[in-house]
Amino acid sequence: MIMNNGSVRYLIFFQYLGTKYSGVMKAPPHQAVKGVQNYLEDAVRSLKPVNEVSLSISSRTDTGVHALGNSAHFDLQRQNGKPPFAEEVLVDALNFHLRPEPIRITRAYRVPGGFHARFRAVSRTYVYRLATGITHHSCTPLTDANLCWGLRHIDLDVGAMRDAAALLVGTHNFSSFRALNSETPFKDPVKTLEKASLELGDAFVHKHFHRDIQFWELTFKSRSFLYKQVRRMTGALVAVGQGQMSVSGVKELLEAQDSQAYPHNLTSPPEGLFLTRVEYHQSEGQRGRSKGSQ
């Protein structure tokens, strides 16, 4: 796995709380608020490699969105012909240089020189956390501040939300659920959503914080997603749960295949969204194991 120039390619998995960052992608030098990638690349540079440092992130997340299992690859060549870092040593060294940022490397693997973290990923899983019974933002427990979407009403029509979520599973044109950006003309809106589920969530505060707050988790899994697709799907499903949209309304929205058909101010906020897992084929896993975020 050592390339001709003596460098080694590593695949890393990492976590972050996205509240203070411009997103995961690198921000330009003139921008005051940096991206997670800026700090990751600075940490790699602190290891004093011979080569120029450049990370390729597998999954883009926006400002305020968190990750428990994003991934990236980069090449590293040590000075004076030193042997490559062992994977465990690399994890510890990068985490040392990332302090005190809320960014953590969880695992590292040496991979072939042709491996690409983004294009070799076979699935990505996102979880969106909802908290019902939050009548004011100050009601959100500190342990969950900026880590969930607080909804005023305690009751959600869970059955209707699950029926609507089931309509999204499968291969569809998801144009209605994507926000427009500069990449829109180049992105195929047809995606295969493997999973869209709603389950009861949990939180540390349930045992210690005596308020009528209920946590829910929406889980979405696909090989890839369109820009803000998960947050738009979440917003529509919550609208169904609150009686603001019917299940058939979600079906009609999906069939419209038009981003302009999506109602204004319905997109869910970023703080409840977590990228929880990026997976690769077993053949590309370490010691025959499939790589994920756990």
Active site residues: 62
Helices (H) and strands (E) in the chain, counts: 5, 10
126 is in an annotated binding site: yes
How many residues comprise the chain? 294
The count of C-alpha atoms lying within 13 angstroms of the C-alpha of 270, restricted to the half-sphere facing its C-beta, is 18
| 3-state SS assignment for residue 228 | coil
Q: Which residues contact 2 (CB under 8 A, 6 or more apart)?
A: 8, 84
Across the chain, where does the E strand assignment appear? 8-16, 56-57, 66-76, 103-111, 121-132, 149-151, 170-173, 190-200, 214-222, 273-280
Q: What is the DSSP letter of 138?
A: G
Q: Which residues are annotated as a binding site for substrate?
A: 126
